[in-house]
Structure 1
Amino acid sequence: MSKFRKVEYHIQQLRELQSIITSMKTLSQLELRKLTGRAEHYREIARVLQEMVDDYMVNFPQPHPIAGDDLVMVIGSERGFCGPFNELLGEALLTGQASVKEKPWRVLAIGRKLCSHLDDRLPGYIPLAGAGTSEELATVLPRIVTTVQRQMGEQKCTKLLVLSHGDDEGVVAVSHLLPPKPVQKEREKLIPPHLYLEQAVFFREFLSHYLYLSVIRLFTVSLMIENRYRVEHLGGAVHRLDERLQTLCTKARSLRQEEITEEIEMILLGSGTFDAGLSGF
């Protein structure tokens, strides 16, 4: 195979790769647009939930929980091509939560790609499958919430901390989900909330809904930031492929010109032999 043919074959491969990456980028852009709208919706739900916590905790103060260990949940990615998304989470976990190195079994790592990053650095953690798209959240989250509740009971954990990417790109946020804490401690109501259930029953049922809706919000925001990273990462890959293709196309034209020149020279050199043969007739 000539040099020109080799370069042409390489160009064809790169163009096919560029088409695949562009399709992946387009899908991530569509997912990002969808998640951005949902994130706004869940932020409003989170605001209402916090108001309920404030109203309840101010009017019905809860006893301080018995001191215990923290259960740490880290929301990573199930898919790759999202730049430093999982590396930032791993660093925040190992540097900001020093106690997990002594008790790694109190870490729930969500997402296959995050788990591959923690395998050698934190042996003994609990891996869980995550969601690759927003459509998968409905089936994945109930299992994760059930696992959280079970682990908190079995390991006698009194707090749930969640490490995830927040609204600001590149910033890993630490959310104290359980027990819920009032934000407006001085907020007073002239008439306290009227409960149709006993306080203990109401608070237990409320915590179940509070945990599930809070986890949905964190996962939605995390997926949104993940796709934002992916769009940026794949966009950079497409740009580098464009530059590489331009270089190879220039090289291919140069090689083709050399081949054409060689072919012309061969024809001209051969024409002398052909003319000498005709002169004998």
Structure 2
Amino acid sequence: MSRRRELSRRLGALAEISGIMSAMRGLALMETHVLQEFLPTQRRMVSRIEAAAADFLAWHPELLSAAKPNSEICILVGSEQGFCGDFNEALLRYREAHCRDKVVPGHFLTLGHRLASRLDGDTSLALLQLPGASVADEVPTVLLRLTRELNRLLATGEMAGCGLSVLYHCDATGDIRLRHLLPLRDLPAPVARPYPPEINLPAEDLLTALTGHYLYAALNEVLYSSLMAESRQRHAHMDRALKKLDEESEQLQQAYNAQRQEDITEEIEVILLSAGMLEDEC
């Protein structure tokens, strides 16, 4: 009887775990639906800013910096929550393979507590560690905090004039992407036009303003894209875990049924044995 109680207790615990994991899977699925409304609009905005910058710089090539920056800040966008498989580990493997031996010295800034927890003791990533977004509604707050810190780092001191790149899970391509943001580069080919674009600001001021708008829009897209990839991975991870949990629950249920049948058989044998003893006494 004690084994059957233990099996029943384990079945109850698995049922509770299954309920929690089902809720997490549902939340991840809901988050992907929410993000699907943001991402297309954000991508169109970034592509249009890039097209405008390409057209503008085609007529003002003197504003393009020919020299590469002396150093670069790379933002690593990880996860704020867990239960998303090797989301953070894959990011760190990519960094190890592609970012360690760059000629330009790199300074790393991380987003997401789960990613930061993987970096304990790694002094090369001690520049700054910021919390990330758990849901889409938190992205504006995270972006505001991130841009404030970037402005502080890039404005003065030894970081002034650094390049800026971001390493993240890109939902559009389904893989990890290293994306260069500053200075403006990797722009699309400009459209051939017979006349220069009409501008209402000095070219240098316009480039500064355009760069600021581009950086804000691109980082916004990056954060939404990474969160979408994280939500998809969490949903898939929870789905696989629930299937394994169902298999284990089924095995335990079979063991419970077998034990119950064995206990019933033992009780019947005891009753029959007791009845036989009573007959002998009579």
Asked if Structure 1 and Structure 2 have the same fold, meaning a TM-score greater than 0.5 normalized by the shorter chain, the answer is yes
Unpaired runs of 5+ residues, structure 1, are: none
CA RMSD of superposed structures (Å): 2.1
Letter in 2 for 1:19: G
Change (3 A) 1:237 1:64: same
> Take 2:223 and 2:260, find their aligned partners in 1: how far apart are those partners?
53
Instruction: Quote the sequence identity (%).
Output: 29
Aligned-pair CA distance for 1:56: 1.2
Alignment of 1:178-257 (within 5 A): 178-181=182-185, 183-185=187-189, 187-257=191-261
Aligned-pair CA distance for 1:11: 0.3
Partner of 2:268: 264
Out of 38-47 and 151-160, give the one that drifted further.
Answer: 151-160
Partner of 1:133: 135
**Does the CA-based 8 Å contact 2:32-2:231 persist in structure 1?**
yes
1:17-65 CA deviation, whole Å, 9 max, x = no partner? 0011011001101101221232112111111111111111111221426
**Does the CA-based 8 Å contact 2:51-2:190 persist in structure 1?**
no
> Take 1:13 and 1:209, find their aligned partners in 2: how far apart are those partners?
51
> Is 1:168 matched with 2:170?
no
Unpaired runs of 5+ residues, structure 2, are: none
Letter in 1 for 2:24: M
Partner of 2:70: 68
Change (3 A) 1:254 1:236: same
Partner of 2:56: 56
How many residue pairs align between the two structures?
A: 276
Q: Report the 3-state secondary structure (helix = DSSP H, G, I; strand = E; otherwise coil) of the residue aligned with 1:98.
A: coil
**Does the CA-based 8 Å contact 1:25-1:235 persist in structure 2?**
yes
> Take 1:46 and 1:223, find their aligned partners in 2: how far apart are those partners?
17
Change (3 A) 1:179 1:271: same
Aligned-pair CA distance for 1:149: 2.2
**Does the CA-based 8 Å contact 1:76-1:89 persist in structure 2?**
yes
Q: Report the 3-state secondary structure (helix = DSSP H, G, I; strand = E; otherwise coil) of the residue aligned with 2:162.
A: strand
Change (3 A) 1:103 1:184: closer
> Take 2:73 and 2:238, find their aligned partners in 1: how far apart are those partners?
34
Out of 16-25 and 116-125, give the one that drifted further.
Answer: 116-125
Letter in 2 for 1:215: L
**Does the CA-based 8 Å contact 1:57-1:182 persist in structure 2?**
no
Q: Report the 3-state secondary structure (helix = DSSP H, G, I; strand = E; otherwise coil) of the residue aligned with 2:109.
A: strand
**Does the CA-based 8 Å contact 1:72-1:160 persist in structure 2?**
yes
> Is 1:92 matched with 2:94?
yes
Q: Report the 3-state secondary structure (helix = DSSP H, G, I; strand = E; otherwise coil) of the residue aligned with 2:118.
A: helix
**Does the CA-based 8 Å contact 2:180-2:186 persist in structure 1?**
no
Out of 114-123 and 229-238, give the one that drifted further.
Answer: 114-123
> Take 1:125 and 1:94, find their aligned partners in 2: how far apart are those partners?
17
1:73-128 CA deviation, whole Å, 9 max, x = no partner? 1111101111111111111112211158x967x21011111111122444524211
Q: Report the 3-state secondary structure (helix = DSSP H, G, I; strand = E; otherwise coil) of the residue aligned with 1:118.
A: coil
**Does the CA-based 8 Å contact 2:111-2:130 persist in structure 1?**
yes
Out of 80-89 and 144-153, give the one that drifted further.
Answer: 144-153
Letter in 1 for 2:239: G
